[in-house]
Chain A
Amino acid sequence: MQLVLEKRAERSNTIALISPLIAIGLTIATMVILFAILGKNPLLALHAYFIAPLTDSYSLQEIAVKATPLVMIAIGLSLCYLANAWNIGAEGQFLIGAVAGSWIAVKTQGTDAGVWVLPVMLVLAAAAGALYALIPAICKVKFGASEILTSLMLVYVADLFLDYLVRGPWRDPHGFNFPTTAEFDPVATVPLLIEGGRLHLGSIIALLVIAGAAILLGRTIKGFEIRVVGAAPRAARFGGFNSNQLIILTFAVSGALAGLAGIIEVAGPVGHLQPGISPGYGFTAIIVAFLGRLNPLGILIAGLFLALTFIGGEQAQIAMKIPLDVTKVFQGILLFYVLACDSLILYRFKLVFPNRQVARGTH
């Protein structure tokens, strides 16, 4: 018996729509088995993961807070992936954005700097993220170096750079030797949307980014070029589209969004620069991009879902002592199922029995 793929005459739109749901269903089924192996009650665990965070306002806000960076990064990544450019270093661009924006916050600390501080921080962070993403993009276009490997190597470099700053020049003198900058001044902080809550302005920016991406992809020639270069490189060449230029562009946009997400996270929920500001947002955003089928609206939904798994994971850890790494396993398995179900869009799965095959061949 053998599994064989048969190409569909045309891509199945029905399956394209329901395949993320199948993937989520299969992931949850797999998690039930994993919980059972870990000796935890699967039903209670699923409740802690997926239901409990939805039942109170604090967790709901927290989901939106966590989804904000995920969605912003994933939108940028989806542009890259649509254009067949593999930026997987968003984590590094996120960190560099956080560093660049924090620079202003640290320098203006305690001075009577005005309301210009936060906008400048945001712009600088986006610019730094874009420049950092341009390194692998230019290495790819000019020298043909694999953007996958170079963008990823730069994640480690960014991580070490941030570490150096908060342990060295930027360390808070009153921070009891912890590797962190001082708390940012109020003018260097992303304002809250609800007084005393967790929801902040960044979530609105994320929604604007989604709208912008939807317009870019659906209504502009650039968006059309991005999609054609990725889907049909030969056609794009005949059409005179410059794929190198698109690699540069999509990397720059993607880096800018990741950088922006970085400073929003630091100047918002975290409040100061320190190591470990990202629980792997840059990598989880890859899953968000694929789960959302590289589509702005899909990415919003996928971002909220992945944020739910982060919050649920924390609740499950507190309530049931389920290790936090289970969340990462969950996310990895989810990406596998998403990709596998995508295969159904283009192919039909068939079980073939080799013996009968041979018999038929002898006619």
Chain B
Amino acid sequence: MELIEAIILAVLAASTPLLIAATGELVTERSGVLNLGVEGMMIVGAACGFAGAWLTGSIFIGALFGIIAGTLMSLVFALMALGLAVNQVATGLALTILGVGLSGLIGAGFVGERITPATHLYIPGLTDIPLIGRVLFGEDAFVYFSLALVAGVWWFLYRTRPGLILRACGDNHVSAHALGYPVLRIRTFAVMFGGACAGLAGAYLPLAYTPFFIPGMTAGRGWIALALVVFSSWRPGRLVVGAYLFGAVTILQLHAQGWGVGIPSQLMSALPYLATVVVLVLLSRARTGGSTAPAALGTVFVPDR
């Protein structure tokens, strides 16, 4: 029982950064913008998040630093992809290349330092309930926040007027523009939201997942988050399922090493990446014929005046 509880806790922790980053990217893509720079924004978020927490001793301020860093990175993307109508795929790649360098530069002084990681919730009585107590009432704040974030995004997209307009921009920017909606401004906000989420997701890694910073610590999680958005067919509900599934694969990989299964550790480490490929193939195959992606995803929009 203890082991199952420990595994569930570990899965939730491993899933949370994926869920936060993917939720942000989902909103971005719903507005019609494909930002491939999630990995770059995350990795800068990780470095800035750790720097913030180390300098101030506050996890909250660290998280804030991560959010600000991610948002600034996304603004660079918005300026390029929306302001200058540059190809979104290429701009996203550039953002990742730049992010990896910046993260190394910012984080160089913090390698080897440690901080006190984010504390876990403890409610006497409730958290002590066997099996479910720690899972439901003993997580760090980020885990609860990530679930609230997905719920909020669902509510925003499907239950509010601005959410409807944002989806309209993603499906047909020409019509949305003709109706008088400021397509580029809406998309800029969506991109910034995605950047803030990616920055926070990156900051989660050194602030709560491991209490230290190492270069390249996102290890492709930003790309997996991008795959998760495809996996979810651009729906927030399925995103939660997908993120937890991937978190589970990651943890399975760690535990298999601990149990001494006679499989090379590198093969186990490759599992999340292989799983991503398999999942992408299966899903794309199931959808052949009608894609569920926002119709205007990745296309350049230059308003005609």
Give the B-binding residues of A (Cβ under 8 A): 3-5, 7, 86, 88, 135, 139, 142-146, 148-150, 152-154, 156-157, 160-161, 163-164, 167-168, 283-284, 286-287, 290, 323-333, 335-336, 339-340, 342-343, 346-347, 349
In the complex, the answer to whether A323 meets B284 with C-beta atoms within 8 Å is no
Q: Select which of A329, A332, A339, A347 is within 8 A of B80 by beta carbon.
A: A339
Given the complex of chains A and B, what is the CA–CA distance between A135 and B273 in angstroms?
14
B270 & A287 in contact (Cβ 8 Å cutoff): no
Residues of chain B contacted by A160 (CB below 8 angstroms): 266-267, 269-270
Rounded to whole angstroms, the CA-CA distance of A286 and B102 in the bound complex is 18
Residue from B87, B219, B226, B302 within 8 A of A7 (CB atoms): B302
In the complex, the chain B residue whose C-beta lies closest to that of A343 is B84
| Cβ-defined contact, B102 with A329, below 8 A | yes
Residues of B in contact with A (beta carbons under 8 Å apart): 36, 76, 80, 83-87, 89-91, 93-95, 97-105, 108, 219-220, 223-224, 226-227, 230, 264, 266-267, 269-270, 273-274, 276-277, 280-281, 283-285, 287-288, 291, 302, 305
- B residues less than 8 Å from A333 (CB atoms): 98
B270 contact set on A, CB distance < 8 A = 156-157, 160-161
B106 to A: closest C-beta gap in Å: 9
Give the residues in chain B near A290, CB-CB below 8 Å.
90
- Report the nearest A residue to B77, measured CB to CB: A336
From B97, B104, B274, B283, name the one whose CB has the most chain A CB atoms within 10 angstroms.
Answer: B97
Q: Pick from B84, B86, B97: contact of A331, CB below 8 A.
A: B97
Q: Is the CB of A335 within 8 A of B86?
A: no
**Assembly CA distance A161 to B237 (angstroms):** 35
Q: How far is the CA of A286 from the CA of B96 in the complex (A)?
A: 12
Contact check, B284 vs A149: say whether CB atoms are below 8 A apart. Answer: no
The answer to whether B223 touches A149 (Cβ under 8 A) is yes
Q: Which single member of A139, A153, A324, A326 contacts B223 (CB below 8 Å)?
A: A153
Q: Give A323 to B285 CA distance when docked, in angstroms.
A: 46
Known contacts A153-B276, A327-B101; 19 further A-B pairs (Cβ under 8 A): A135-B277, A144-B284, A144-B287, A144-B288, A145-B283, A148-B36, A150-B276, A154-B277, A164-B264, A164-B267, A286-B93, A323-B104, A332-B94, A335-B93, A336-B91, A339-B84, A339-B87, A339-B94, A349-B84
13 contacts between A and B (CB under 8 A): A5-B84, A139-B281, A145-B277, A153-B223, A156-B273, A157-B274, A160-B267, A164-B266, A326-B101, A333-B98, A336-B98, A339-B87, A346-B85
Known: A327-B101, A328-B104. A336 touches B280 (CB 8 A): no
Shortest beta-carbon distance, A352 to chain B, in Å? Answer: 8
Q: Which residues of A contact B302 (CB under 8 A)?
A: 5, 7, 347
- Please determine whether A332 and B99 come into contact, CB atoms closer than 8 angstroms: yes
Contact B281 A329 (CB under 8 A): no
List A contacts of B99 (CB < 8 A). 332
Asked whether B80 lies within 8 Å of A153 as measured between CB atoms, the reply is no
Complexed CA–CA distance, A86 and B89 (Å): 8
Find chain A residues with CB under 8 A from B36 CB: 148
A25 to B76, CA, bound (A): 19
Q: How far is the CA of A58 from the CA of B16 in the complex (A)?
A: 50
Given A145-B284, A163-B266, A335-B97, do A340 and B84 touch, yes or no (CB 8 Å)? Answer: yes
- Which of chain B's residues has its CB closest to A140's CB? B284
Set of chain A residues within 8 Å of B91, measured between Cβ atoms:
336, 339
Residues of B within 8 A of A164 (CB): 264, 266-267
Minimum CB–CB distance for A317 against chain B, Å: 12
| Complex CA–CA separation, A313 to B280 (angstroms) | 38
Chain B residue with Cβ nearest A330: B101
The interface residues of chain A lying within 8 Å CB-to-CB of B102 are 325, 329, 332
Assess whether B93 is in contact with A329, with CB atoms less than 8 Å apart. no
The answer on a CB contact under 8 Å between A144 and B285 is yes
| Nearest CB on A from B58, distance (A) | 25
Q: A145-B281, A332-B94 are in contact. Are A325 and B105 (CB under 8 A)?
A: yes
Q: Which residue of A lies closest to B282 (CB)?
A: A143
Chain B positions within 8 Å of A346 at CB level: 85
Task: Determine the residue in chain A with the shortest Cβ distance to B215.
Answer: A325
B-chain residues with CB within 8 Å of residue A324 when the two chains form the complex: 104
Residue in chain B with minimal CB distance to A325: B104
Shortest Cβ gap from B219 to chain A (Å): 8
A149 touches which of B84, B103, B226, B264 (Cβ 8 Å): B226
CB distance from A284 to the nearest CB of B (A): 8
